[in-house]
Homo-oligomer: A and B are copies of this chain.
């Protein structure tokens, strides 16, 4: 839990490794990206990875942790503002889930992380799944509980199915980002709003259809 000064760490060796790792893991996969490519891209010595992270596997975990801590705390914050409230709509909950991910996709190199995440889904690696489930499973559980409240006519089994399908669609969409290109006459911000509205409407239709 320590990890002092999460922000404002611009040029340290650890940060340079993490950024290069995120890009190369997204582009070539966890096995496909070697530590030699990685450290060369980061401009650091080969041994620096094992010195600072212990092993390649622990580096992979840190790549996830850096982004998911931020992403999931934003999702939880957005959800806690609306969960259980009377006027809350399905679209509100979906917005709390989707918008933080879109914000992440937009900033500097965060969009690459979504591709890393998509790879993690495709890999049915038990170690990685266990790590993700243990550290971030409660987020998905909270959202599912809120979906259940707003969709009382669905059985638990039915709801799990639909949430799973929506998750697949969103992961696929965000990792294969850029299907819809931003028109030159709209700002980045409004484009993101439009994309969010798009995904939310699709997910709402899939979740709540009769």
By a beta-carbon cutoff of 8 Å, the part of chain A in contact with chain B is 27, 29, 31-32, 115, 118-119, 121-124, 157, 160-162, 164-173, 175-176, 179-180, 198-199, 201-202, 204-206, 209
> A119 contacts which chain B residues (CB < 8 A)?
122-123
Among B123, B157, B172, the residue within 8 A (CB) of A172 is B172
A123, B29: Cβ atoms under 8 Å? yes
CB distance from A3 to the nearest CB of B (A): 29
Complex: A118 Cα to B204 Cα, angstroms: 24
What 5 A-B pairs come out closest when comparing CB atoms? A168-B172, A205-B209, A122-B122, A169-B169, A31-B31
Complex: A123 Cα to B161 Cα, angstroms: 25
CB distance from A113 to the nearest CB of B (A): 14
Complex: A170 Cα to B168 Cα, angstroms: 8
B172, A121: Cβ atoms under 8 Å? yes
Q: A119-B122, A122-B121 known; A202 and B209 CB under 8 Å?
A: yes
> A172 contacts which chain B residues (CB < 8 A)?
121, 164-165, 167-169, 171-172
